[in-house]
Chains A and B, each alone.
Chain A
Amino acid sequence: MNEHAWLESAAAYALGALDEGERAPFEAHLADCPRCRAEVTTLRDTLGLLAQAAPGMEPAPGLRDRVLAEARRVRPLGRRPARGPWLLAAASLALAAALGAGFARQRAAARGVAATLAEARRLLAARDSTLAALLSPDVHVVSLAATGRPPTVRVFWNQDRSLFVVMAFDLPAAPAGRTYQLWALAKDAAPVSMGVFNSGSDGRATLLIPVAGGVLGLGLVEACALTEEPVGGSPGPTETPRLVGTWRHTAS
């Protein structure tokens, strides 16, 4: 088949209109041909715009609530009956977070796609330890979120390696001389410090904190809270927690 014919197939492939028998040979060709891959990508973007040709109509007002309610029911990360799928979800989360941070930085630099990819790879490599911590078999997770407010903090507890992995989004950096402190909460016990951290100017943080003995002494840790404290942390919370979340013990 000459080059022209392959590009003709690229158009049909992007449209999903390539006949059954032609799809496999074209996909095999696609694997080796950057030109056809680029062709398919740009044609798909063009086709994505075709949706806008359809006469615009307002979806029913209740549809948004339905979508969000369904999302609450089926979380991308959450209680799963088996261990395997949950661990995959945890891995995806780590990748997504790592890439997100990388691209945010990239935007400012406004570099090309190749540089973006290289940066993402570099970032992924740098976060191998984070990933490894998330990929171990006995990981528990807690999300701390203020109702209807933006900041989100996610804490993974890797019991095998005795590590907390903390990921924060939209958490404004604590002011000079202040820090964020995470607390483990258990029934009938004073809050125990899990560690201190601060987010960057982009509102994000990803860090590993070794699990201290005091946390293990609590027995079943039920919840996790975030306060702002003087640098170095406090022996106990000095303010009402800004964020609170209960642990989802998913690996059971």
Chain B
Amino acid sequence: MTPIQPDAAIPDRDLVWRMAAGEERALGALYDRHARTVYALAQAVVGERADAEEVVADAFGQAWRSAAEYDPLRGSVGGWLTTIARARALDLVRRRGRRGRAYQRAAQAADGGLAAPVAMPEPPDRGVERAEAGALVRRALAALPDAQRRVIELAYFGGLSQSEIAAELAEPLGTVKTRMRAALEKLRAVLRPLAGEGA
């Protein structure tokens, strides 16, 4: 029997529903689409390669077990996966009782943070589309004023709360709140063309 449609034609959310029905092949397809992004995120948060791989395995394991809970009205599959992976990565960093890599980098004013490697070459086998998306996201981050970008990086990659960020940067809490919202709104406006893809 031949498959009705190749895996590439199956929307992300259908893959998740198939996972909920216990279809391992759907998990494999989802991994093929998102593992690099999830891995890059894990690596940015935890730093160590082995730790990042543990996070990726944990994240896809949790996605597999909780596939039936995925709600498309609450966001894209990519967003769901990265939310899971980020929580796992931050858990691991806290469990080890150390600061994440992004946290350390973002806290150093001299460092350009994650937006720094704008011109970094992508591995040749990486999908062109994904490379373009990655470049667009890095450009969007790089275009933020330094103060705003560091607030976002400390929160997103470092897992710090607003008052922790205020303490870290020695800034008033109100300033951190204002910067956080301003930065997110800019990112949303710039990245709108990418949002909702693969939902």
Contacts and interface: CB of A to CB of B under 8 A. Distances in A.
Interface of A: 7-8, 11-12, 14-20, 41-60, 63-64, 66-68, 70-72, 74-78, 89, 92-93, 95-97, 99-100, 103-104, 107, 113, 117, 143, 146, 149-152, 154, 167, 169-172, 202-203, 242
A203 B22 contact: no
* Chain A contact residues, majority secondary structure: helix
Nearest to A67: B60
A150 B25 contact: yes
Interface string B116-160: 010010110110001101100110010000000000100111011
Contacts, number: 239
Interface of B: 1-4, 11, 13-14, 17-25, 27-28, 31-32, 35-41, 43-44, 49, 52-53, 56-57, 60-61, 64-65, 67-69, 72-76, 78-83, 85-87, 114-115, 117, 120, 122-123, 125-126, 130-131, 133-134, 137-138, 141, 152, 155-157, 159-163, 165, 177-178, 180-181, 184-185, 187-188, 191, 194-196
Contacts of A77: 21-22
Contacts of A100: 14, 17-18, 21
A171 B157 CA distance: 43
24 contacts: A12-B180, A15-B155, A18-B161, A42-B195, A46-B187, A46-B191, A51-B82, A52-B133, A54-B114, A54-B157, A55-B117, A59-B36, A59-B39, A67-B61, A71-B60, A71-B64, A74-B61, A76-B67, A92-B20, A92-B68, A96-B20, A97-B21, A103-B17, A203-B4
* Chain B contact residues, majority secondary structure: helix
A18 to B, nearest CB: 7
Contacts of A54: 40-41, 43-44, 114, 157
A150 B61 CA distance: 21
Contact of A48 (B17, B32, B78, B122): B78
B72 A50 contact: no
Nearest to B192: A46
Contact of A49 (B44, B57, B61, B133): B133
A47 B36 contact: no
B56 A68 contact: no
